[in-house]
Chains A and B, each alone.
Chain A
Amino acid sequence: MSGNQPFRRIAIAGDGLPAALAAAYLAKACGPAGTEVVVISARETGQTGDVVARPDMLRFNAELGIDPVTLCKQGIASPLFAVEVQGGAGPVLLPFAPAGIANNGVDFHHYWLRATQNGLANQLADYSLPLAFHEAKRGLAFESAASFKMPFGLRLDRAAYAQSLVNAAMGFGVLGTGGALDGILASDSAEWPLRITIADSEIGADFVVDVTSDGAAATALGRRQSGWTNRCLWIAGDCNIPGIELFRLQRAVSRFASLVPTHESVAADSAEFNRIYFAEEQRITDMACLIEGDEAAMRARPALARKIDVFSACGRIPSEDYEVFQPCEWLAALMAQGYLPKRPERLAERLPEAELHTWLGNLRTQVVELQKQIEAAA
């Protein structure tokens, strides 16, 4: 193999929604180059319930030809403006868009904080359109949600969405082996670098993407942690924050597809993949830790401790490279844990006091009116 010779076969180890998502995307991306994508799975997980797609999943689905409008009309999906996470001290709502609007480059919560210091009684959530929509008694149709030019995700029926992905995967030519993974070996054979045992048969592959919950293929190849090593990519999606399972899968397979499927793949590519993969993992763990609220555990995480300290001091939320969550989500999580800035950003004081109160009053009125309109709509 030489040059940009594409992989002949990528095996996906896993089942259910993760396997369907990985297979569909890789087949769509790599199929035109002649790469065959095979799913090695026999077990039906039978997972039911809902799964959350964060806002950036809309574009990913569009790439696969999965139309969110159709999903919503079929009752498989509905627009989602925030997710609820069970934390150590109760549920925490993470909105996908900020409360209020920024003014002269200063985030809204600084203005709100300034007003509360002067006696305003309203909560920050009172100015949040995403939270108003989230708590409305009726959901919004996709087109209505899109009309607000505000990021939103989808709540999806897991089984039905998985079936949509399976349909997409089949359309892109994904094959199933019809048997469960029994073993996998790295091979020195010139024919196939990986030999995969399935029941009584064996197939070869150039690469394996492991989306099983326990890393069955990766551990069989001697891997102890997720990420990309040699000819195996193990994508771990465990996280109690809704939306992160699909986020991790989507980011990993799309980044992998842009980096690899050729025999020219080199250590620099996997190092680059892992650099970003693990940075994102750190950001997710930071958020999970904050929501859990264990003080000692939070202090042990420097980037999280910095977020808490800087926010408490002046209301700004420091960002790292490869943030996963929006500043509005961090703001909600920090405030849910009781952190409150001791002062707003000084730049927020540029707005005269009278204008500030008029502006906040107008915003609050708009939020209330829109919420009423939604609830009144059939």
Chain B
Amino acid sequence: MSGAGSAKRVKQVVVIGGGTAGWMTAAGLASMLGSTGLKITLIESDAIGIVGVGEATLPHIKLFNDTIGVDEAEFMAATSATFKLGIEFVDWARKGDSYIHPFGEFGLANQGVPFHQYWSKMRNDPDVGPLDEYSLPVVACRKGKFQRPSDDPRSVLSTYRYAYQFDALQYAPFMRKHGEARGVTRIEGKVTGVHQDSESGDITSVTLEDGQQIAGDLFVDCTGFFGLLIEKALETGYESWSDFLPCDRAVAVPCESAGPLLPYTRATADKAGWRWRIPLQHRTGNGHVYSSGFTSDDAAQQALVDNLDGKLLADPRILRFATGKRRKLWNRNCIAIGLSGGFLEPLESTSIYLIQEGITKLLELFPDTSDFTVEAEEYNRKMDLEFERIRDFLILHYHATERDDSDFWNYMRTMKVPASLTEKMELFRASGRIASYDHGLFLVPSWIAVLLGQRIEPTGYDWRVDQLDADEIRRHLAGLRTHMDQAASGMDDHGEFLSTNGLAMSAA
């Protein structure tokens, strides 16, 4: 039992790598701990390109931005950002299907019974319609509308949140400006050597190409898939999840915008993976995530180009990745944040969320220099849980499908999945209930959206629903659907909202 007052302070954090993860980490640490005497140095090389993950995000990013003092209008203009109310999934359970995973609720609970249970009982009634029509963010997405949510919990306009779609290549420079204004020291250079303490194995310093030696108490590896510190130096090891999520490549290309500016990201299932479409203010981001075991690079690239809805703006570039995570995201005095820590395909826009969680948990558990063991174990436990629960959610999209039109889909449909996911699917199939947890990213509405969207239909429903007369439920549903429709119709057109609220990208 330790007494208080023995702490040895961390004075210097060195971040290696200056992409999205690196600058988010540096800016986050500087904003939150700079006033406590913490010095942050970021080393990056202009000669090394960045992957630029996470054009599409989740609502949590707003909290991160707000916490570190980012001005929304400035951020959106600088990164050509648009608003995002959900993710549309096309062709996933069957070709021709479309559903939206919204950032908000479905309907309103009644007497402790979730809304979807009432809908579930009545869903075969021709007047009832799909569950989507009872979610305001979904209805708004379908109409191309946007409005910031209301703070009034009595309003239906309070039942959703929003995220952003932005140019990841502009986001890192924006965060750099934010970080440098809060004291982050940037060093241009390429790391050529990593030095470790001979006894503890902790990293003591790195050497740059020009001979400079940069020492630190704590090192954050943001070097992407390369994992310069966490893997090349510390040999931490990698846990592959490619059996569950066999997609291992992505080809990305921007194209000119076409059609109205939609407030959602689209993920369209293809023969050996899926294609993304992310509408930004100045262009549309596109990509094709695929499994090299089931299709070739050329075929994947062709499938992407064939489905663009605007003129190509650059040459396609291919990324290779292995789905999984480091065995320890925090090893010795090194924390891997971003792609150096692990990779889950961007199907649910989780890349930046995982960076954000890494930073938040590091801030919460920020150590002293005497011994990192306990903090590191707790950090790793929490991050492992985040990764694993997101992994299960991603697998659900692939596994719960009726598609049998390619070897890829036959593999995904018939593969063995984690027991935790099987139990969740069985419970929902039996009674429409969701096995929820206190920890983990995706909450009940997200699971409902994807389970139903993937055509897992409950055979039963909550018995308490029967305590209301069917006509009464029908009337309630009709009223709510009309209310949602009217509320969404009253919102602004998404593109107009951006231009009339000072959020349009800088003229430069």
Contact = CB atoms under 8 A, between A and B. Distances in A.
B438 A321 contact: yes
Contacts of A219: none
Contact of B32 (A116, A268, A322, A347): A347
Interface stretch (B52-60, B167-175, B249-257, B361-369): B361-369
A272 interface: yes
B463 A33 contact: yes
Nearest to A349: B36
A149 interface: no
Give the size range of A's interface with the partner. 35 or more
B1 A347 contact: no
B35 A268 contact: no
Contacts of B377: 306, 309
Interface stretch (B3-11, B19-27, B68-76, B184-192): B3-11
Contacts, number: 126
Given A266-B431, A318-B378, A346-B36, A312 B463 contact: no
Interface string A361-374: 00000000000000
A13 B130 CA distance: 44
Interface of B: 1-7, 10, 32-33, 35-36, 38, 112-113, 363-368, 370-371, 374-375, 377-378, 381-382, 423, 426-427, 429-431, 433, 435, 437-439, 460-467
Contacts of A259: 431, 433
B428 to A, nearest CB: 9
B374 A309 contact: yes
Contact of B365 (A33, A271, A314): A314
Nearest to B426: A268
A340 B364 contact: no
A269 B430 contact: yes
A321 B431 CA distance: 22
A258 B462 contact: yes
B367 to A, nearest CB: 7
A76 B238 CA distance: 61
Contact of A339 (B1, B462, B466, B467): B1
A113 interface: yes
A347 B28 CA distance: 12
A347 B366 contact: yes
Nearest to A114: B4
B1 A350 contact: no
A314 B375 contact: yes
Given A340-B3, A342-B4, 20 more contacts: A4-B465, A264-B460, A266-B460, A268-B427, A269-B433, A272-B435, A275-B435, A306-B377, A306-B378, A306-B381, A309-B377, A319-B438, A321-B438, A340-B2, A342-B3, A342-B6, A342-B7, A345-B364, A346-B33, A347-B366
Given A259-B433, A321-B437, A314 B367 contact: yes
Contacts of B7: 342-343
A79 interface: no
Nearest to B112: A258
Given A314-B365, A342-B6, A4 B375 contact: no
30 contacts: A6-B463, A6-B466, A29-B464, A33-B467, A116-B4, A258-B113, A259-B431, A260-B463, A262-B460, A264-B431, A266-B460, A268-B426, A272-B433, A272-B435, A306-B378, A310-B375, A310-B378, A313-B375, A314-B365, A321-B437, A321-B438, A322-B438, A323-B438, A340-B2, A342-B6, A343-B7, A347-B364, A347-B366, A349-B35, A350-B35
A202 B253 CA distance: 75
Contact of B463 (A4, A113, A266, A323): A4
Nearest to A339: B1
Nearest to B425: A268
A100 interface: no
B1 A268 contact: no
Contact of B467 (A32, A310, A340): A32
Contacts of A341: 2, 4
Contacts of B2: 312, 340-342
A275 B433 CA distance: 14
A113 B4 contact: yes
Which 9 pairs across A and B sit closest by C-beta, in order of nearness?
A: A343-B7, A313-B374, A342-B2, A349-B36, A346-B366, A268-B430, A268-B427, A262-B463, A321-B438
A9 interface: no
A261 B36 contact: no
Contacts of A343: 4-7, 368
